[in-house]
Amino acid sequence: MIHVRVSMSLASKTAIDRHTHLIAWAQYRQRIRAFFEARDVLEVVTPHQTSYTGTDVHLTPFQGISVSGQQWFLHTSPEFEMKKLLAQGSGDIFQICQVFRDEEQGQWHHPEFTLLEWYRQGWTLDALMEEVALLCAKVFKLNQPVTRLSVHAACERYAGWSPWAVDALKIAQSRWPHADCGEDQALWFDWVMVTQVEPKLADLPMCCLYDYPETHAALAKVISFEGRRIARRFEYYVQGIEVANGFDELGDAVEQRHRFEQEQAMRRVKQQPVWPIDTTFLDALDKMPECCGVALGLDRLYVLAQNNL
């Protein structure tokens, strides 16, 4: 997926409105902390400024050079540092923090936004999907039924196309000749999701899509299922807007290095900056317990919840 995020401005037309939003925003954060405390999940804080950044071609970090000449980045996600804590025996953890992505601005985009990220050891992806739904209901009072669809089913239902079809590329090129995706099947999947599938999800109050193509595994495990290679991950939507992204976390450092190197190669092709791989993160992966994790955009969910009241 092409990832988009939002940052909500607490400023509004009147002092009363501003004060109301400030109180509501504080209450949401308090309820989140109470939710995780009741479920024995430890709150942690990791550095916002790091010496490494990720290799994802869709993410651009803010960066600079320190007085000593060392390169630094503002984190686009706390994922790497939180997984290092998991590898050191932290147990289940969560974090509420600001993250920074140097990308376009719009209604649902902002270069700085608030992320809630948490990890559950020994959990299945299904259990984590249930916990996201429970958090939305208990904290944000979004109690509508959640529709669960595999990506395969969603693509066939809303686009009449499957990224796993043997001739998926030919079908896409024939059906949507105006789309400028060339021979890149991963790009075709992104285009179909954004233009054909996601607009239909607005008709569902809440929806969870799971099991993505292998090309979109990122840091998730990949398995074979019904003849398809699938990435064990999900994305959670409220009123057609993506609010959360969860993984059955990959714990194989060799495989993860290979994926990072592939992303570095793609960045070179796209003439994007190529940064070194965080080898301390790879060292931690082999020690990390089996777990599932999810990142949830709080600003975006706050706006959707307020509109739902």
The per-residue pLDDT for range 98-127, each reduced to its tens digit, is 999 987 666 777 899 999 999 999 999 999
State the pLDDT at residue 10. 43
State the pLDDT at residue 1. 34
How do residues 236-274 score in pLDDT, each as one tens digit? 999 999 999 999 999 999 999 999 999 999 999 999 999
State the pLDDT at residue 5. 38
State the pLDDT at residue 3. 38
How do residues 138-173 score in pLDDT, each as one tens digit? 999 999 999 999 999 999 999 999 999 999 999 999
State the pLDDT at residue 11. 41
How do residues 191-243 score in pLDDT, each as one tens digit? 999 999 999 999 999 999 999 999 999 999 999 999 999 999 999 999 999 99
How do residues 14-68 score in pLDDT, each as one tens digit? 666 888 889 999 999 999 999 999 999 999 999 999 999 999 998 999 999 877 8
* Matching residue, tokens 């010496």: 51
204-205-210-214 Cα dihedral, nearest 10 degrees: 70
